[in-house]
Structure 1
Amino acid sequence: MTTAVGDAIASVRLGRYAVPLATPVSDAKVATGRQRPLSRIDVLTCEIGTRDGLRGLGFSYTTRAGTPAQYAHAKEVGEHLLGQDPSDIGKVYESLLWAGASVGRSGVATQALAAVDVALWDLKAKRAGLPLAKLLGAYRDSVRTYNTSGGYLQAPLDEVKERASRSLAGGIGGIKIKVGQPDMREDLRRLAAVREHVGDEVPLMVDANQQWDRISALRFGRAVEEMNLVWIEEPLDAYDAEGHARLAEALDTPIATGEMLTGVPDLVRLIGAVDVVQPDVPRVGGITPYLKVAALADHAHAQVAPHFVMEIHVHLAAAYPREPWVEHIEWLAPLFEERLRIEDGRMHVPDRPGLGLSLAGRARDWLIDDVEFHGPGR
């Protein structure tokens, strides 16, 4: 145990939750038989308490599989947090990497650390009395936001259009729909109908969830060039950086990808290769590695649009020089007492210290397992 000069971590609580979705959703991976419909989000939480009485909250997530492994790894290394100074986030993160060095520095191992890392950043901003965006250095108090959850493939076209209208009326600024069905003509029909429904002025994105090969993706991209899409997301396998780069060079429509990558080196390969890089804080291992990706992207004058977990990404998007889009998906909202304010196409940064989040009382309904570690004197 390390003796800290300032404050010290006195307690760590880890929780594993299964948050049900109101309606199971399907994307291209489901339409082509590779996965089953998504019916819940599994969440790993970390609550850190300090000797001075401060508390930080962080979380990670998985879809379909992985959270039990994250939780198990976090339990194994969690006691290494006790006694460390929570302000020394880089040092603490490195100590946890070394505690689990034999399982590497990406994937499940660092996704488990993401919950801890987010809790440390939440704690640091609370100590400063600032929202996380302000601690990092905000460029704006709100960010552009688009909705994804209304555009999944299991929904009939009329429902997709109705939910798009509802999102826009509720203050959302853009709409994203899923594509990548076995028959590309059906994708094009749905997309054309949604574009006609929302009008030419509404920002519209599509997401293929890694469905196509390079030739199919190029054909789709050429077919939609006149639709003025904000981007085509994940047209190819997530690890095909070269293929995405070729598409970005061949098409006028921007290419976006990166959400599935779980390490900084993989994401760095996309910078300069695609138009929009889409890191995900829980998947890349926390805010600490995310900031490395963002700094390199900024140096290359690249656009960034973080994936999912709007509750974290609204802060990071506000602190990025070139204004990103933040994805609005409300699936995790029931876990928290607070709600994000959305109006006039923008998501507002909370004015509360840290992330501005606290676990809701009803979160216990979805708790599967939890464990708590305490230092001396607690």
Structure 2
Amino acid sequence: MRIAAATVHPYALPLVRPWVASRATLTERRGRLLAVTSEDGLVGWGDCAPLPSSGEAGHARVFQALNAAVRGLPGRDTADVSPSDVPEVRWAIETALFDLEARRAGLPLRRFLRSSFPVIASPRQGTGARNDEPRTIAPVRVPINAALGPLDAGCADRAEAAAERGFAVGKIKVGVGAIDDERRALADVIERARGRLRVRLDANRAWPEAEARRFLESLVGLPIDGVEEPLADPTPAALAHLQKDLPFPLAADESLPVLGVDALLEARAVRRLVVKPARLGGIRATLALAAQAQTAGVELVLTSVVDSTVGVTAAAHLAAALPTENTHGLGTLDWLTRDVAPPPVIVDGALCLPAGPGLGLVPKG
């Protein structure tokens, strides 16, 4: 399919309340939508949103790379495009091109990916989904965790509300206050949820090993879904030493590009990998990692940093295409006061993907 045009559309989306990330506090999500138009008039969409921690210089660098890549797209065949070396740009271009191809095939993006990549064509655990499923299908549900924010005075209220909405997992940022104070606050959150919510904790590399062990061991017996990045200075051996004594998964997120996937898997350092497809570098890179993780018996969870509806929907299609079903970190859309397109509906803790072709959405003018 030949590309007739490619255009970039800036956006700035205010947040309902500040989002505390590992190295930045976010009050507005800035990015660029990429629209790629084929000669027969179909349009595919992608989202390019640098991580908040990249700062002004990082945003400028990524947007400059996007503009340079987009200038070279018109007149090219979609099969001949070599996406950028910049991960966020590659994610945007791959998403737009796969969205375009899926729309032409008349298939939802996740169905198109399953038919295009044999590595993910096996039946999904617990769903019975098959590579030969009918072309006309009902909306697909992707389980997601509720993004509960920091372990502050309002966290128990947010956890109770998430449980009432049918979420099974709630994610909380920890490692900001004193360990004993956070442990008491966490007990209050769990009590308020009354057994309806498992807790996923993200420490963002908060503690030295002794403090991490003390906190983690205090969680045994609680409804803990997993703990991300507990160590301030992680190594595969140190993570493996912690993981072997715990009944719940430890997870690597920002340590993944630093320590390396091979080293983490070889050491059996963690039982879960948390990845942002945009940071990893796109759809193909995520699928390759999914296959590697599945072979090693390690869970793969996809997540976002308050991305737009286009970015979250693309990641949800990718999650739905994977051969195993996990609870993903894509429940961030209600942190935005407005968005670039109507967001997918969330029902009983699951994001309901539209059944239309491609992403199943069209951004607002």
Q: TM-score, normalised by structure 2?
A: 0.82
Q: Which residue matches 1:3? A: none
Residue 323, structure 1, aligned to residue 325, structure 2: yes
1:296-352: CA deviation from partner (whole Å, max 9, x where unpaired): 112223211111253222212222222111221114583232222222332222212
Select which of 20, 32, 57 maps to 1:44.
32
Residues 19 and 149, structure 2, Cα contact 8 Å, conserved in 1: no
In the alignment, is residue 60 of structure 1 matched against residue 48 of structure 2? yes
Query: Across the two proteins, how many residue pairs are aligned to each other?
Result: 329
**Which amino acid in structure 2 is aligned with residue 311 of structure 1?**
T
**Shift >6 Å, 4+ stretches:** none
2:113 corresponds to which of 136, 139, 145: 136
CA distance in 1, matches of 2:61, 2:36: 20
- Mapped to 2, the partners of 1:145 and 1:344 lie a distance apart of 10
Q: Say if 1:112 and 1:269 are closer, same or farther in 2 by CA, change over 3 A.
A: farther
* 1:19 aligns to 2:21 (yes or no): no
1:204-353 equivalences in 2 (<5 Å): 204-237=199-232, 240-258=235-253, 261=256, 266-271=260-265, 272-308=268-304, 309=307, 310-327=312-329, 328-330=331-333, 331=335, 334-353=338-357
Aligned-residue offset at 1:258? 2.2
Q: Where in structure 2 are the equivalents of 1:90-109 lying within 5 Å?
A: 91-92=80-81, 95-97=82-84, 105=85, 109=86
Deviation of 1:259 (Å): 5.0
Determine helix, strand or coil for the equivalent of 1:69.
helix
SS at match of 1:305: strand
Partner of 2:119: none
Contact 2:204 2:230 in 1 (8 A): yes
Shift of 1:234: 1.6
Structure 1 gap ranges (5+): 1-6, 30-34, 98-104, 362-378
What residue identity is the alignment partner of 2:316?
Answer: V
**Aligned amino acid, residue 317 of structure 1:** A
- Deviation string 1:138-193 (CA, Å, 9 cap, x unpaired) is 84532322111x3324x42xx21222222222332321111102411111011111
Q: Which residue in the other structure is 1:370 paired with? A: none
User: 1:112 is matched with which residue: 61, 73, 89?
Assistant: 89
Q: Percent identity?
A: 29
Contact 1:16/1:71 (CA < 8 Å) preserved in 2?
no
1:121 aligns with 2:98: yes
The partner residue of 1:83 within 52, 72, 75 is: 75
- The aligned counterpart of 1:74 is 66
Q: Distance in 1 between matches of 2:250 and 2:24?
A: 26
Closer, same or farther: CA 247–187 of 1 in aligned 2, 3 Å: same
Q: 1:57 to 1:77 in 2, by over 3 A?
A: same
Q: TM-score, normalised by structure 1?
A: 0.79
Q: Structure 2: where are the runs of 5+ without partners? A: 115-122, 128-139
